[in-house]
């Protein structure tokens, strides 16, 4: 019983000590801020330097990006500078500081939320170059293999594949261009595709 | 982005002494004093309505005027409290009960009387006089309260300007109920219903920009 109650009281006293230290610090900040209102630059420098880590810890709960957290810290410091006459030393400093910090965090979250809605981050896939070949480096070997395979086809099949599949002509247009009948074109395309499949599969096996 | 310690040094170097704001109640009371001076000047300039003393016996007139005055006072107090960062935003609810009573009693006669046709010809109706009085009262009050609340720009600009606009409208309505002649329109407040919306809308939209400007200039 005794050890547990001792450790419990230790935790309590630690908590109390921390609380007292924290409220003492806020009393200090309150005094420093009062001096800053009177124009004491050193007191002001001290209070701003001491509250910056506190603002940073509040901001870090909401934002992960270190840059964004730092921007919130700076926005909050600038706001404090602009509204320093609204602090009443008769009232606690903590809620005043926390309220201003929360405003700036909310602003930043709203702004970054809007930005996320409007913008998409640029990834490697979005990078593009004027040359058509350069845009698709992954597909290039496959295209070359296909070109070679088409070249190995008999002339009728090669023509049919090129006109109907690669240039995407209609059967009628292809028939007019080659002078072959539509039925012959269909047969040639069918055989050509079959042969290509065989050739490319053979390439893969090899 | 400059490093935070540099920013702190910069702010400390350009620190100037500031005069601490007085309590929100004191500031609200000062503005309300100004508002009552404007009201009294208006009443002196126009004279009270011919049946003013008889109106005081009319329970609904007294209740309506009291409700609009209470709305004005509560909204002004709320605006000054909301302009401070560490006061609860629930203060925005303060003027709502009085506002509900006031709105429940508003009439519409003034709006119907823009032009009068009589044997002497056409002349401007009560509504035009009503409008000019309205502008003369509400413009100076709006400008002063927005200047007094300018430090709330980076904190709660919309709530502060909304309650300030409501306060100006309610006080203007109160002032006009004392001077407006019931022959033209018994209840002027209908007009003010429009003003409430207009002032709230205008201060809501330009308020942020105006306060942002004031904030930028320090």
DSSP B103-118: HHT---GGGG-SEEEE
From A25-39, A89-103, A125-139, A144-158, the region with the lowest mean pLDDT? A125-139
| pLDDT above 90 as % of chain A | 16
Domain with A199 in it: 140-205
Q: Are residues A25 and A109 in the same domain?
A: yes
Encode chain B (218 residues) as per-residue pLDDT tens digits.
Answer: 788 888 888 888 888 888 888 889 999 999 999 999 988 888 888 777 766 777 777 777 788 888 889 999 999 999 999 999 888 889 999 999 998 888 777 654 444 455 555 555 555 555 666 667 777 887 888 888 888 888 776 778 778 888 888 888 888 888 877 776 543 333 444 554 555 566 556 655 665 555 555 444 43
Q: Would the ipTM clear 0.90, i.e. be above it?
A: no
Beta-bridge partners for B124: B115
Is residue A88 in a domain?
yes
Tell me how close the Cα of A150 comes to any Cα of chain B, in angstroms: 58
Q: Are residues A30 and A110 in the same domain?
A: yes
Diameter of chain A by CA atoms? 106
Each as own residue / partner, the long-range contacts of residues A164-168 (CB below 8 Å, 24 or more positions apart, any chain) are: A164/A189, A165/A189, A165/A193
Paired tokens of A83: 């509204």
Q: Looking at residue A131, what is its pLDDT?
A: 57
> Which residues does chain B have within 8 Å of residue A84's beta carbon, measured at their own beta carbons?
18
Domain CATH for A38: 1.10.1740.10
Is residue A15 in a domain?
no
Q: Looking at residue B93, what is its pLDDT?
A: 94
- B207's CB contacts (< 8 A; 6+ apart) are B146, B157, B158, B160, B161, B164, B165
In this predicted model, which residue has the larger pLDDT, A185 or A112? A185
Paired tokens of B45: 């300039």
Q: Are residues A71 and A103 in the same domain?
A: yes
Residue indicated by tokens 């979250």: A109
Q: Are residues A150 and A77 in the same domain?
A: no
Q: Are residues A47 and A113 in the same domain?
A: yes
Mean pLDDT of A64-92: 89
Q: Are residues A76 and A157 in the same domain?
A: no
Q: Looking at residue B172, what is its pLDDT?
A: 83
Q: Are residues A106 and A25 in the same domain?
A: yes
Give the A-side interface with B, CB within 8 Å.
36-42, 44-45, 48-49, 52, 67, 70-71, 73-74, 77-79, 81-89, 91, 95-96, 99-100, 103
Q: Are residues A84 and A173 in the same domain?
A: no
Tell me how close the Cα of B152 comes to any Cα of chain A, in angstroms: 8
Compute φ and ψ for B117, nearest 5 degrees. -105, 115
Count of CB atoms situated within 10 Å of the CB of A73: 25
Residue A11 has pLDDT above 50, yes or no: no
Is residue A105 in a domain?
yes
Tell me how close the Cα of A89 comes to any Cα of chain B, in angstroms: 9
Is residue A14 in a domain?
no
Mean pLDDT of A109-134: 71
> Which residues does chain A have within 8 Å of residue B155's beta carbon, measured at their own beta carbons?
79, 83, 99-100, 103
Nearest one of B201, B197, B209, B153 to B173, comparing CA atoms: B197
In this prediction the pTM is: 0.64
Per the structure, how many domains does chain A have?
A: 2
Is residue A10 in a domain?
no
Q: Are residues A112 and A33 in the same domain?
A: yes
> Which residues does chain B have within 8 Å of residue A32's beta carbon, measured at their own beta carbons?
none
Could you tell me which chain B residue has the CA closest to the CA of A92?
B86
Nearest one of B166, B48, B154 to A86, comparing CA atoms: B154
User: Is A85 close to B7, i.e. CB distance below 8 A?
Assistant: no
3-state secondary structure of A20: helix
Of A84, A117, A150, which residue constitutes the final position of a domain?
Answer: A117
Q: Are residues A82 and A152 in the same domain?
A: no
pLDDT bin (cut points 50, 70, 90) of residue A23 is: low
In this predicted model, which residue has the larger pLDDT, A178 or A77? A77
Domain CATH for A173: 1.10.10.10
In this predicted model, which residue has the larger pLDDT, A38 or B213? A38
Question: Domain residues of chain B, as ranges?
Answer: 23-216
């Amino acid at each position: 019983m005794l050890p547990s109650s001792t450790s419990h009281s230790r935790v309590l006293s630690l908590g109390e000590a921390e609380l007292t230290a924290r409220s003492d610090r806020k009393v200090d900040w309150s005094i420093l801020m009062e001096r800053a209102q009177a124009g004491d630059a050193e007191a002001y420098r001290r209070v701003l330097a001491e509250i910056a880590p506190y603002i940073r810890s509040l901001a870090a709960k909401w934002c992960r990006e270190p840059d964004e957290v730092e921007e919130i810290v700076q926005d909050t410091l600038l706001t404090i500078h602009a509204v320093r006459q609204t602090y009443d030393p008769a009232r606690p400093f903590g809620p005043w500081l926390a309220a201003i910090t929360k405003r700036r965090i909310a602003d930043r979250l709203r702004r970054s939320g809007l930005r996320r809605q409007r913008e998409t981050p640029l990834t490697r896939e979005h990078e593009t170059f004027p040359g058509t070949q350069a845009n698709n480096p992954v597909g290039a070997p496959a295209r070359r293999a296909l070109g070679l395979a088409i070249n190995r086809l008999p002339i009728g099949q090669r023509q049919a594949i090129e006109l109907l599949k690669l240039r995407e002509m209609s059967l009628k247009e292809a028939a007019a261009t080659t002078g072959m009948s539509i039925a012959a074109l269909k047969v040639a395309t069918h055989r050509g595709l079959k042969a290509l499949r065989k050739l490319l599969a053979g390439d893969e096996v090899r | 982005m400059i490093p935070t310690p540099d920013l702190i040094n910069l702010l400390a170097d350009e620190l100037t002494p500031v005069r601490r704001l007085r309590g929100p109640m004191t500031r609200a009371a000062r503005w309300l004093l100004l508002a009552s001076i404007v009201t009294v000047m208006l009443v002196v300039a126009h004279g009270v309505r011919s049946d003013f003393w008889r109106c005081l016996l009319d329970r609904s007139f007294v209740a309506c005027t009291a409700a609009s005055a209470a709305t004005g006072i509560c909204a002004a107090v709320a605006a000054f409290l909301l302009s401070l960062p560490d006061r609860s935003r629930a203060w925005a609810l303060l003027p709502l009960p009085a506002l509900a009573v006031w709105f429940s009693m508003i009439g519409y006669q003034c709006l119907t009387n823009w032009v009068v046709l009589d044997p002497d010809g056409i002349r401007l109706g009560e509504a035009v006089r009503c409008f000019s009085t309205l502008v003369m009262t509400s413009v100076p009050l709006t400008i002063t309260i927005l200047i007094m609340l300018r430090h709330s720009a980076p904190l709660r600009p919309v709530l502060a300007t909304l309650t300030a606009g409501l306060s100006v409208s309610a006080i203007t309505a109160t002032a006009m109920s004392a001077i407006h002649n019931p022959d033209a329109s018994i209840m002027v407040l209908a007009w003010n219903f429009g003003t409430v919306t207009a002032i709230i809308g205008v201060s809501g939209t330009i308020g942020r920009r105006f306060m942002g400007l004031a904030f930028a200039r320090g």
